[in-house]
Amino acid sequence: MIPKDHPRYRSLVTRENLARSTRSGIVSLEGLTAHGRGEAFDYLIGERTTESAHLAERIAAAILISAKHPVISVNGNTAALAAPQIAALQKASGALVEVNLFHRTKERVKQIEDLLRETGSDVFSGEAERLLPLSHDRAWCRREGMYSADVVLVPLEDGDRCEALVRMGKTVIAIDLNPLSRTARSATLTIVDELTRAIPNIAAACKDLSAPECRQLAMSVNNHYLLSEAIREITLRLDHAMD
Ligand code: ATP
Ligand code: MG
């Protein structure tokens, strides 16, 4: 019997949740395979928040609370894994919550918005338009939401859309367990941590950062350094894997 607080137990519960959410239509089949890639990298970082991820989470909090118009972009996997935590982060940061999907249908958007509302988020909805410079359905967003945002938090983002948001001049914060992905490398700031650990850590930091700490952290963004540290932490772990 695996103890309930063991990462392996949590990962089994997460898989059951994702399988259920795929059957109900919240998560796409493609989303399931993306989760598998994330799990592999989580194994490599030791299924814990590393020191560099902890720092990135505090910087993310500082950027979010200093932003004029911050938006949290939610897809199917994010809603299935962390809907109540998204609501808590919204309260702590004051950000808008907006649904943005790769595999977009009106029904799926509504299903995910309903789940977010049921778990406490104030969801920004209304008419979406094809506003982002992308050929696929992730181009759809709301003019007063993500399109006007100065800061966008994109948990589990695709590289194309992350690059497009950066090209539009936005500050993009990504949560991605793969420090080598295009998303991780093109975002303004990448948190190399598992979504359900990262979101509560950002929310906690939003509450406890002092104003001077917040200013200092928001000015200290160095994504190259944070990704190099994440890779160094993985390498160190692999070096001692057989000890
Ligand atoms: P990119 O398009 O950025 O080059 P990709 O094609 O590998 O990367 P996508 O499928 O576009 O990736 O996005 C999924 C990303 O999310 C993967 O890099 C994966 O590591 C990461 N991921 C999946 N599940 C989680 C999770 N629960 N927490 C954090 N990251 C995750
Ligand atoms: Mg991709």
What is the tens place of the pLDDT at every residue in 52-74? Answer: 999 999 999 999 999 999 999 99
**Best of 158, 199, 201 for a ligand 1 pocket test (most atoms within 8 Å of beta carbon):** 158
**Which ligand 1 atom is at minimum distance from the Cα of 195?**
28
Does the domain at 51-239 match CATH 1.10.260.40? Answer given as no
Instruction: Measure the CA–CA gap between 60 and 205, rounded to whole angstroms.
Output: 9
Indicate the domain borders of the chain. 51-239
DSSP string, 197-241: HHHHHHHHHHHH--HHHHHHHHT---HHHHHHHHHHHHHHHHHTT
Per-residue pLDDT tens digits for 137-192: 889 899 999 999 999 999 998 899 999 999 999 999 999 999 999 999 999 999 99
CA 20 to chain centre: 21
Q: Rounded mean pLDDT of 107-133? A: 94
Pocket lining: 38 vs ligand 1, CB cutoff 6 Å: yes
Residue 67 to residues 58, 71, 108, 214: CA-CA distances in angstroms?
Answer: 14, 9, 29, 11
229 vs 242, more confident: 229
**Best of 14, 176, 202 for a ligand 1 pocket test (most atoms within 8 Å of beta carbon):** 176
Instruction: Measure the CA–CA gap between 135 and 179, rounded to whole angstroms.
Output: 25
> Taking the model in full, what pTM does it have?
0.96
